[in-house]
C-alpha cells in the first residue's frame, strides 16, 4: 500500500482481512491520518503522521471531518448508517449522530486532504446496508478511499469483496506483539503469559485482561465438568471464546507431554501436565480435532445447549480433574 502511494497508484477501495486483534483497524486509522497529515515524516520506510498538526489532532480526538469510521450500531451495520434518510428511525433510536457514508462522500474534503471511510467489522453489514454500500463501491468519488476491515471476509458479499484490493494481515511474532503491548500503560512491561496468551494478536491483549479471561474459562470448564446442564454463554461470541480456550488448553496438555518449554500457559505448567496425565496423546488430539469441528459448525448456528452437552461429553472423556 505504501508502494502504491509512492507511485501515486493507490486503489480507492481496500479490504483489510485477518484475525481479530492484530491491528487492522489501527493500521487503517494510521493510514488515514498519514494521508491527511500536513507534515508527515518517514518512519521505517513508511510515511507516518506527525501527530501534532491540526489534522492529526482531530484524528486523535475522533473529530476529523474527512475521516469516518463506521461500525456496528447494535449487532449490525444498518442502512441508515450508509444512506441518508433510509430507515432513519433505527439510527435515531440509537442516538446515532455521525454523517451517513453517502452524505460524507458527497461533499468535497473539508481540509483539502483525502476523504477516508473505514468500515470496521464490515461483515456485520446487514443485507440492505451491504446492497446500499455496493453503490458507493461502484463509483467511489474522486479523492476518497474506502477501507473495509474484517476478521470474517468470507461473510462479505462476493460482489463487495471483488471490488476491493485485499490486504491480508498475519499474526505477529511474540517479540513484535510485546513491543506493541509495552506502552506507557504498562510501565513494568506485560507478563510473558499475557504475550503468549495473545498469540500474535496484541489488540486482543490490549482490549481485555487475558489472565482474567482465562480464569473465567476455567470457572466455566469446572461448571461443565461438574455436570451443570445449562450453558452460561451469553451469545455466540462467548461460546466461540470458550471453545478457543478449550482448544488452547488441549493443545497445551499435548505439548506438556512432549515439549513443555512451548506451553502457552507457561505459568501453569504443573497444573496443565496434571490435567493431561490421565489421557493419551492420541486421546487429547482426537478431542481437539472434534472441538475444532464443533467450532466450525457454530457458523451454522448450532444450538447453544447442544454445543454445551457435546463439548461436555468430549472434555469429560479426558478425565481432566481425575
User: Least CB distance from residue 148 to Zn ion, whole Å?
Assistant: 25
Nearer to Zn ion, 50 or 247 (CB): 50
Which is closer to Zn ion, CB of 42 or CB of 175?
42
Residues 6+ apart with CB under 8 A from 226: none
- Closer of 64 and 196 to Zn ion (Cβ): 64
Residue closer to Zn ion (CB basis): 59 or 70: 59
| Min separation Cβ 37 and Zn ion, Å | 3
| CA–CA distance, 28 with 109 (Å, rounded to integer) | 18
Which grid cell sits at 106?
458527497
Q: Using CA atoms, how far apart are residues 65 and 82, in angstroms rounded to an integer?
A: 16
Which grid cell sits at 141? Answer: 468519488
Name the residue nearer to Zn ion (CB basis): 41 or 189: 41
Of 39 and 154, the one with the shorter C-beta distance to Zn ion is 39
Helix axes 269-276, 236-258, angle to 10 degrees: 90
Write down the least CB distance from residue 60 to Zn ion, Å.
Answer: 10
Closer residue to Zn ion, CB minimum distance, 50 or 211: 50
Rank residues 39 and 235 by Cβ distance to Zn ion and give the closer one: 39
C-alpha cell at 79: 442502512
Shortest approach of Zn ion to residue 30 CB, angstroms? 11
Contact between 80 and 100 (Cβ < 8 Å): yes
Residue 232: which of 244, 214, 216 has the closest Cα? 216
Q: What are phi and psi of 126, to 5 degrees?
A: -75, 175
* 270: its cell numbers: 504443573
CB of 39 to Zn ion, least distance (A): 6
Phi, psi angles (nearest 5°) of residue 277: -65, -30
Neighbours of 124 (CB within 10 A): 22
**Contacting residues toward Zn ion, per CB under 5 A:** 37, 49-50, 53, 56
| Closest approach of Zn ion to the CB of residue 56, in Å | 3
Give the shortest CB-113-to-Zn ion separation in angstroms.
Answer: 10
In this complex, which beta carbon is closest to Zn ion, that of residue 54 or of residue 305?
A: 54
**What is the DSSP-derived secondary structure letter of residue 262?**
G
Query: For residue 235, what are the CA distances in angstroms to 155, 207, 248, 256, 322?
Result: 19, 19, 20, 32, 30
Q: For residues 33 and 165, is the Cβ–Cβ distance under 8 A?
A: no
The pair phi, psi for residue 121, each rounded to 5°, is: 50, 50
CB of 80 to Zn ion, least distance (A): 32
CB of 35 to Zn ion, least distance (A): 10
Q: How far is CA 87 from CA 79, 84, 134, in A?
A: 7, 9, 18
Amino acid at each position: 500500500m505504501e508502494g502504491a502511494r509512492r507511485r501515486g497508484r493507490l486503489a480507492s477501495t481496500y479490504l483489510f482481512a485477518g484475525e481479530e486483534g492484530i491491528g487492522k483497524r489501527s493500521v487503517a486509522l494510521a493510514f488515514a491520518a498519514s494521508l491527511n497529515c500536513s507534515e508527515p515524516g518517514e518512519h521505517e520506510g513508511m510515511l507516518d503522521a506527525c501527530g501534532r498538526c491540526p489534522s492529526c489532532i482531530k484524528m486523535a480526538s475522533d473529530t476529523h471531518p474527512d475521516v469516518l469510521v463506521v461500525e456496528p450500531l447494535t449487532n449490525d451495520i444498518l442502512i441508515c448508517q450508509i444512506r441518508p434518510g433510509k430507515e432513519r428511525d433505527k439510527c435515531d433510536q440509537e442516538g446515532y449522530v455521525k454523517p451517513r457514508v453517502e452524505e460524507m462522500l458527497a461533499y468535497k474534503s473539508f481540509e483539502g486532504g483525502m476523504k477516508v471511510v473505514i468500515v470496521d467489522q464490515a461483515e456485520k453489514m446487514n443485507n440492505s446496508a451491504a446492497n446500499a454500500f455496493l453503490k458507493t463501491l461502484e463509483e467511489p468519488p474522486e479523492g476518497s478511499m474506502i477501507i473495509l476491515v474484517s476478521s470474517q471476509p468470507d461473510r462479505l458479499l462476493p460482489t463487495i469483496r471483488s471490488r476491493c484490493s485485499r490486504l491480508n494481515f498475519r499474526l505477529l511474532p511474540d517479540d513484535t506483539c510485546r513491543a506493541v503491548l509495552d506502552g506507557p500503560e504498562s510501565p513494568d512491561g506485560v507478563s510473558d503469559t499475557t504475550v503468549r496468551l495473545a498469540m500474535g494478536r496484541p489488540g486482543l491483549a490490549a482490549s481485555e485482561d487475558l489472565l482474567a479471561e482465562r480464569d473465567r474459562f476455567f470457572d466455566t470448564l469446572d461448571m461443565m465438568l461438574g455436570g451443570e446442564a445449562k450453558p452460561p454463554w451469553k451469545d455466540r461470541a462467548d461460546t466461540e471464546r470458550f471453545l478457543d480456550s478449550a482448544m488452547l488448553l488441549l493443545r497445551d496438555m499435548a505439548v506438556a507431554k512432549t515439549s513443555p518449554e512451548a506451553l502457552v500457559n507457561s505459568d501453569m505448567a504443573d497444573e496443565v501436565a496434571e490435567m493431561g496425565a490421565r489421557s493419551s496423546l492420541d486421546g487429547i488430539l482426537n478431542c481437539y480435532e472434534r472441538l475444532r469441528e464443533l467450532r466450525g459448525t457454530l457458523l451454522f448456528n448450532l444450538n447453544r445447549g447442544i454445543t454445551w452437552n457435546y463439548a461436555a461429553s468430549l472434555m469429560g472423556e479426558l478425565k481432566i480433574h481425575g
